[in-house]
Structure 1
Amino acid sequence: MSEAFEQYERQYCELSANLSKKCTSVHLLDGELKKQKLSEIKVGIDEAESMIRKMDLEARSLQPNIKAVLLAKLREYKSDLNNLKSEVKQIISKNLNASARDELLESGMADTLTVSADQRTRLMASTERLNKSSDRIREGRRTMLETEELGVSLLQDLHQQRQSLLHADHTLHGVDDNLGRARKIMTNMSRRMNKNKCVIGSIITVLVVTIALILYFKLSK
């Protein structure tokens, strides 16, 4: 797995957890403090988007089997970031309508109870989201380890096949050399046989001529 991707991933997870805490705590603030906290959250979201882009570029530069796993994890992080953006939009929208909402509340106690219930709900949602993110990270790491083990096994098999092919190539070279030597021997034997045929033919011709001469002289007497 890419060390750069792991570094970006750790930074994003820390940033996402920090943003979730800020979204939960922003409800306790008012006025300028709340605006300042919202501004910090926006900056954090921009940084998170930058981390997502870096992880995306790093994942796409890796091998296809590893890239597929990392891009799947990246989709989960993008979904998590979109949920944070939606939550921030809701906070901003509620902040803009805070004065109108306060006028509709019948008492200060009702407002306190509503905010407290809303804070508990958001805190539980944030905790649940962090737990899901942790589970996805653990599952992604497990899948990555399995993929790496499979890759190592495939490389070992390919190495063994390469060694077998090299051995077969050496064997074929040896057979080819033997065939070459056998071809030369056969050629030499063929030449010797042709030479022997010529010699035998010459001897037979001489014998025939000699016999013919002997018969001729005998018959002429």
Structure 2
Amino acid sequence: MSEAFERYERQYCELSSNLLKKCTSASLLDGERRKQSVSEIKAGVDDAESMIRKMDLEARSLPPNVKAVLLAKLREYKSDLNNVKNQVKRISSTNLNLAARDDLLESGMADTLTVSADQRERLLFSTEKLDKSSQRIRESRKTMIETEDLGVSLLDELHKQRQSLLHAHDTLHGVDDNLSRSKKILTNISRRMSRNKYIIGSIVTVLVLAIILILYFKLSR
């Protein structure tokens, strides 16, 4: 396993454990203390997501057999982080309800059943504005995640291309070795043929001389 991945994993596990503790503590708080605690938890969630993205990038740069195991582990971490996000949403929702109740009580209305049309309109306008802001935040986060996924895909594709180039280089190196061996074999064969040619020429010369001598001795008698 990659040392960088292990380091990110340790940091994430510590951060996740602290977030769970903070969620439990925040649910017991109220007012400004709860708001402050929720803000700290949200900042921690952002850090945890950043850590998961770093682990994702690191895992995808590793060999396939190791990458598959680490990506499966990352899916579990993402699921745990989603649970933390859901807890934060519940705490924030409860906090908003309490804040709305306090606003109504502080407005000086003696009878809570007779809310003025003006206050209702302001409340609706504030709610609508909050919904629009939340929607923009969700869209921005979605765009960021899509961009990161694209970067991860490109990195994975570049890793595959690098592996293909290394494989092609190894294949060419093997072909070059085979060509070198073939050249040596052909050179040896050529040398043997030249040597055999000289041997055969010498034998033929000796035989011709022997025949000439034999004919000479026969004719001289």
Instruction: Report the TM-score, using the length of structure 2 for normalisation.
Output: 0.54
Separation of aligned partners in 2, 1:75 and 1:5: 15
Q: How does 1:39-78 map to 2 (within 5 A)?
A: 39-78=39-78
Question: Is 1:195 equivalent to 2:205 in the alignment?
Answer: yes
> What is the aligned partner in structure 1 of residue 87 from structure 2?
87
Paired amino acid for 1:36: Q
1:184, CA displacement in angstroms?
A: 5.8
Paired amino acid for 2:15: L
Question: Is 1:38 equivalent to 2:48 in the alignment?
Answer: no
Separation of aligned partners in 2, 1:64 and 1:6: 17
Cα displacement string for residues 141-177 of structure 1 (whole angstroms, at most 9, x for unaligned residues): xxxxxxxxxxxxxxxxxxxxxxxxxxxx9xx89x959
> What is the aligned partner in structure 1 of residue 16 from structure 2?
16
SS of 1:97's equivalent in the other structure is: helix
Any stretches of 5+ residues in structure 1 without a counterpart?
102-168, 215-221
Instruction: Report the TM-score, using the length of structure 1 for normalisation.
Output: 0.54
Aligned length: 142
Q: How does 1:71-150 map to 2 (within 5 A)?
A: 71-98=71-98
Q: Percent identity?
A: 58
Cα displacement string for residues 46-105 of structure 1 (whole angstroms, at most 9, x for unaligned residues): 00011011111112222232222222211111111111112211222233234789xxxx
Separation of aligned partners in 2, 1:52 and 1:193: 85
Query: 31-40 or 55-64: which moved more?
Result: 55-64
> What is the aligned partner in structure 1 of residue 5 from structure 2?
5
Paired amino acid for 2:87: E
Separation of aligned partners in 2, 1:57 and 1:87: 27
Q: Which has the higher contact order (CA 8 A, sep 6+)?
A: 1
Give 1 or 2 for the bigger CA radius of gyration. Answer: 1
Separation of aligned partners in 1, 2:76 and 2:200: 79
Contact between 2:20 and 2:84, CA under 8 Å: does it hold in 1?
A: yes
SS of 2:48's equivalent in the other structure is: helix
Separation of aligned partners in 2, 1:14 and 1:76: 15
Paired amino acid for 2:216: V
Paired amino acid for 1:10: R
Separation of aligned partners in 2, 1:203 and 1:91: 123
Separation of aligned partners in 2, 1:37 and 1:99: 15
Paired amino acid for 2:85: K
Separation of aligned partners in 2, 1:185 and 1:99: 106
SS of 1:28's equivalent in the other structure is: coil
> What is the aligned partner in structure 2 of residue 141 from structure 1?
none
Cα displacement string for residues 30-52 of structure 1 (whole angstroms, at most 9, x for unaligned residues): 00000000000100000001101
